[in-house]
């Protein structure tokens, strides 16, 4: 039977078994949609990146959750480039990546940090009841209503849309107990991938904010460390004037409440850039399924 090399790479960290794990298939040419979906389901990580050849950029990627294909994934992008660089298949410098949302610029630095330039942001306030959002997240409604006059709940995207939800204190965010059915319904109503709740109350003195991201609509109950949501939130902070002067770079911490701590560097300038490091925690192979396409997709 056919096998392909398969990696598990922990992104937004330099410590194995922390950060956000992504599946990476470095050579996915020839795999069908159903085969990629089945492999992603077997990995059972929030996302698996399938690296493909293309004539439009240095390489192409497709991202699958265990449930479905998604348009963009920050941590899997960081993971795949870090793994390719570690394997000697990618040099330090600038590269291009074709995704379902267009061709993105990628930079690999000497210290192994990978930077991903995201799409231009689109941000708008949404007409949602803060109490409904709080109930969906399992958070005291006061944690949202106390801050909504300063920072509103809003839909933000830099390639993948999220509902950005400010929370007053870390304790309230840490005690969140989401109703996943309600989070999924709310995500569908405002047409977002998931809810990214954040607070400026942080664990590390170096961090700008602490975030948690819930995306049951995409088959990811809670994502440990989310690059696309971090980029969208960086753009959100600038859009709503969260700082007197927007810093050149901010640092977001995430994943601590599910024992997968990591950090995301975000640059908010003419372009939104998300950066971090990654480490390979598993290097092996996967047997490519030969099931009928329809059978795989309906499993």
Quote the percentage of the chain above a pLDDT of 70. Answer: 97
DSSP, collapsed to helix, strand or coil, labels residue 163 as strand
CATH architecture group of domain 3-117+278-298: Roll (3.10)
The two three-digit tokens of residue 147, written as one number:
């801050």
The structure's pTM equals 0.92
CA distance 213 to 201: 16
Confidence bin at 297 (pLDDT 50/70/90): very low
Q: Could you tell me if 162 and 125 are in contact, meaning their C-beta atoms sit under 8 angstroms apart? A: no
Residues 6+ apart with CB under 8 A from 205: none
Domain ranges (residues) in the chain: 3-117+278-298, 122-270
Is the fold of 3-117+278-298 the same as that of 122-270?
yes
Confidence bin at 264 (pLDDT 50/70/90): very high
Q: Given the residues 2, 47, 222, 249, select the one marked as catalytic.
A: 47
125 is catalytic: no
Q: What is the CATH number of domain 122-270?
A: 3.10.310.10
The two three-digit tokens of residue 194, written as one number:
């998931």
Residues 204-245: tens digit of each pLDDT:
999 999 999 999 998 899 999 999 999 999 999 999 999 999
């Amino acid at each position: 039977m056919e096998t392909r090399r398969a990696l598990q790479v922990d992104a937004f960290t330099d410590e194995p078994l922390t950060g956000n794990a992504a599946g990476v298939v470095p050579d996915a040419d020839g795999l069908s949609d159903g085969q990629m979906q089945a492999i992603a389901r077997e990995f059972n990580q929030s996302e698996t990146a399938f690296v493909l050849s293309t004539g439009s950029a240095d390489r192409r990627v497709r991202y699958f959750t265990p449930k479905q294909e998604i348009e963009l994934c920050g941590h899997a992008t960081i993971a795949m480039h870090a793994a390719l660089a570690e394997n000697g298949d990618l040099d330090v410098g600038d590269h291009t990546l074709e995704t379902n949302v267009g061709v993105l610029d990628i930079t690999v630095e000497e210290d192994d940090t990978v930077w991903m330039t995201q799409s231009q942001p689109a941000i708008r306030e949404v007409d949602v009841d803060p109490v409904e959002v709080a109930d969906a997240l399992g958070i005291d409604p006061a944690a949202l209503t106390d801050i909504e006059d300063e920072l509103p709940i809003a839909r933000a995207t830099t390639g993948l849309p999220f509902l950005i939800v400010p929370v007053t204190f870390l304790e309230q965010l840490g005690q969140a107990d989401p109703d996943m059915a309600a989070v999924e319904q709310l995500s569908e109503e405002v047409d977002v991938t998931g809810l990214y709740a954040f607070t400026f109350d942080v664990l590390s003195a170096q961090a700008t904010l602490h975030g948690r991201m819930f995306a049951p609509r995409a088959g990811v109950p809670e994502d440990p460390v989310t690059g696309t949501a971090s980029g969208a939130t960086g753009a959100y902070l600038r859009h709503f004037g969260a700082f007197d002067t927007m810093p050149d770079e901010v640092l977001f911490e995430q994943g601590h409440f599910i024992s997968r701590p990591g950090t995301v560097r975000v640059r908010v300038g003419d372009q939104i850039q998300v950066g971090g490091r990654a480490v390979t925690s598993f290097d092996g192979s996967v047997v490519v399924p030969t099931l009928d396409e329809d059978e795989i997709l309906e499993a």
